[in-house]
Amino acid sequence: MTNDREEKIKKIFAGSRTFAVICGSDAGEEVLLAKEALGEALRNSGVIVYQLPERLKSFGDKWSAVLPPTENFSPLYSTSILIPKSRFDTKEISYSDDGNNISINISSAKEEIAKDSVIFKTIPAKADAVFYFTPPNEQLSAKISLPEEEDKIIVLSASDSASFSEQVFEIIQTASLAGNLEKTRAPNLLLASLILGTNHFKNNFGEKTANLLGDLLRLDADKKQIDKITDNKKNSFVRLLGRAMARTSPNESLKSAWSFVSWQDLEKTGNEAAGADFFREIAGKTKEISAHQPVFVLLWQKKEGVFGVILADYQEMADKLRFSLPAENKNGFLECGPYKNFTEAEMKIQNALKEVV
C-alpha cells in the first residue's frame, strides 16, 4: 500500500461513522466474500455499515457457514410527505399504529387532504465513506447518497500485485480494525476469498499471499471448513460446464461455435452469484473439449441482461472483433454486453463476425 493511500484511509476512518461497502452486480465470489469480510470488520469496530447489492440467496446458502446474518445491512430510507401550506390550514398531525398499519392523521381547517395534493419525497440513506469493489455503479444513487469528496471513496479492483482479500486486510490493519477480529467471521471470509482468488493457492502465490495466509490462520480461520465449501463450488462448476457443452453447436458459415446458459441454468446449478471470471473458465474449458471452431462464443443470462465471452484462435481476428462489437479484452477473452436478450446478443456478435471471417 502506498503512503498516500494509507494516509487517505486513516483520514477516512478518523472522520466517518457511516460506511457503504459496494460491489458490482456481476461480481464473482472472490469479490463478494472480500466485501462481506470488510463489512464484518467495520461493524466490529462499532460503525454503521450498509452493504450493496443485497446478498443473493444462492450465495447465502452456499456460504452460510461463514457468512454473518444480514440484519441492518441495507440502508434506511427517509420519506418526507409534503403538504402545500398555503392550501391547507393544518391544525394537528399525529400517528397511530394498530400492529398492521401505521396511520398518519392530519387535521385540516380548510379542506380535506386528498392523495393527489400530497407529494412523497424519498431521501436515500447517507454514507460518510464508501468502499467500492470495482468502479462505482450509478444505479445505486436511488438507494444511497454517496459522498462527493474524493478522499471519502476508495476503489478496490483486481490487481496483479494484490488480491481482493489482501487489499481488504491491508485496510483492516491500516485502520486499526484488527482488534478482536478472531471473534468475527472476517478471517474465514478473507481466507475463502484468498483461496478462490489464487485457485487454491495454485496461482499468484508469493510472499505476500503466504504472509496473509499465516495471519488468517493465526486469527483462527478454519481452512478445512472453507475447503469443504469450495469442493461444493467445484461440483457446481462441473454441472454448469456439462450444460454449456450440451448446448454447444457450430455455425459453419461464421467459423464459430456457440453455447447458451440461461438464468434457469444458473439457478439449477447454484451459480447465480457467478461472475465474469467464472464464465471465462467455463468458456475456455468448453472450447477446449467440444468447440472445434476458430471462434467460440458463450452467452449467459443474468438479471441485468445477457453477457458474452468470446475466444478467438487468431489475434488479428480477436482485435477486429474487439473494435467491431465493441468488447473488452480480459486476459485473452473478449467480454461484451449487457444485451437485452439472447436474440440481440446473437445478432450483434454475428454481425461482427461477418466482418471478420
- The 3 state secondary structure assigned to 312-332 is ECCHHHHHHHHHHCCCEEECC
- 313 is written with which cell numbers? 484462435
Mean per-residue pLDDT, 205-222: 88
Element (H or E) spanning 305, and its range? strand 305-312
Q: Architecture of 236-354 per CATH?
A: Roll (3.10)
Q: How far apart are CA 52 and CA 253, in angstroms?
A: 44
**128 exposed, middle or buried (CB, 10 Å; 0-12, 13-18, 19+)?**
middle
Of all residues in the chain, what percent carry a pLDDT higher than 70? 94
Which amino acid does the sequence have at 344? E
Match domain 3-75+126-221 to its CATH number in 2.60.40.420, 3.30.428.10, 3.40.50.720, 3.90.1640.10.
3.90.1640.10
Model pTM? 0.63
What are the CA-CA distances from residue 298 to residues 172, 202, 265, 295 (Å)? 38, 26, 13, 10
Domain boundaries, the chain: 3-75+126-221, 78-123, 236-354
Asked whether the beta carbons of 33 and 185 are under 8 A apart, the reply is no
252 band by pLDDT with thresholds 50, 70 and 90: very high
Q: How far apart are CA 5 and CA 16, in angstroms?
A: 16
The widest CA-to-CA distance across the chain, in whole angstroms, is 80
Which pLDDT value is given to residue 77? Answer: 64
Could you tell me which of 158, 264, 240 has the C-alpha nearest to residue 203?
158
Q: How far apart are CA 325 and CA 353, in angstroms?
A: 9
In this predicted model, what pLDDT tens digit does every residue of 70-116 receive, in sequence order? 776 666 667 778 888 777 777 788 888 888 888 888 887 777 777 78
Which pLDDT value is given to residue 233? Answer: 64
